[in-house]
Amino acid sequence: MKHSSLFTPITLGNHTLKNRIVLPPLTRQRSGQPGDIATDLMAKYYQQRASAGFIVSEGTQIEPRGKGYSWTPGIYSKEQIEGWKKVCDSVHEKGGVIFAQLWHVGRVSHRELQPNAEAPIAPSAIRVEKVKAFIETAPGVGTLVEPSTPRELAINEIKELVELYAQAARNALAAGFDGVEIHCANGYLVNQFISAHSNIREDEYGGSLHNRLRFLREIVEAVAKVTGPERLGVRFTPLFTSTDQDRIYIGLVEDDPHQTYIEAVKVLEESGIAYVSIAEADWENAPELPSSFRVALRETFSGKIIYAGRYTPEKGENIIKANLADLIAFGRPFIANPDLPERIANGWPLNELDSSTLYGGDEVGYTDYPFYENN
């Protein structure tokens, strides 16, 4: 077997995973309309990839205001819960483990996507630049648009959002998910509270780093009470550069990213959650995450560590052998290769990705990628 370190079993919470290969959260915009409901086609897509040791669902909005892109699924209505049950059942039939990623985009939205065409919500009324939302212009047709200027949340509304995260976790468990991941990355709502560039509040949720981490702390505590910490993970994107590419694709680069995210990880350690997932820059010639951060993360956090980015099996195996990671997520390769673990284990060639079918559409570029046939 090639890359054997990727195929040693590992414990994650209450689960013993069959390998260390992760299908990470990947936005595909194929939920059923109206209602943003997970479909039979989505169930097939996830079932095809259930040979992953661990699956995290695409981001699923916790409430209607959490939506920044048309056709992304939610997890706040009864119909949405029923739709996700099909997905969870299909994955479990193949022996897979799947967590739901709980998502709120905050200011990365447009009035067209908001209830009653109201302004999106955010920690501060600062409009995001160089990032797009996506709205439907006709059935099955849409366009990228500049996000609308958000309005600042009142303190009582922030408390209500914390409970919305907890309720979304209850809904995820009701749907059959094995646990949940809180999306705290990519410039979305939790990330907006953490960042000094998007949070200029002067109350207990702003100012100092400790205060800017308060929203994260409260959500983690509230969700952990629902799921148990052993069924909870958190995703971050700690960027260490400040190029236009970073801001366009991911969002927020802190003045001191090392301190910001090590302190954020300490919040997770206090709650004893199962894992932290680190999404690295993933475009061509993207900068490497500093090794000093990887070492500090391992020293700070006692749970499992997942890395995602432009990982090859070789790179993933090396970082596991160095004891800096426990699991490795493969995004684009897993989209194009539903049997990716088998291909890695056997050294089989990979299907090429059709990037034109990543977002929206039907089974083309979604469930029609072939499994490997060894003739």
Q: Decide if 185 contacts 237 (C-beta within 8 A).
A: yes
Q: Decide if 119 contacts 80 (C-beta within 8 A).
A: no
DSSP H helical segments within 56-178, as ranges?
78-93, 155-175
CA distance 309 to 307: 7
- Closest to 151 in 3D by CA, of 204, 184, 205, 114: 114
Residue type, 228: G
Hey, how many other C-beta atoms are within 10 angstroms of the C-beta on 209?
A: 14
Hey, how many other C-beta atoms are within 10 angstroms of the C-beta on 211?
A: 16
Hey, how many other C-beta atoms are within 10 angstroms of the C-beta on 214?
A: 19
Q: Decide if 183 contacts 236 (C-beta within 8 A).
A: no
Q: Dmax of the chain from CA atoms?
A: 65
Residue with tokens 């099996």: 313
- Three-class SS state of 191: helix
What is the DSSP track for 217-280? HHHHHHHHHHH-GGGEEEEE-------HHHHHHT----SSHHHHHHHHHHHHHHHT-SEEEEEP
Give the active site residue among 46, 76, 188, 249. Answer: 188
- Three-class SS state of 159: helix
205 among known catalytic residues: no
CA distance 235 to 233: 7
CA distance 41 to 314: 32
Bridge partners, 327 (sequence order): 306
What is the DSSP track for 47-68? HHTTTSSEEEEEEEESSGGG--
- Closest to 331 in 3D by CA, of 99, 56, 72: 56
Catalytic residues: 188
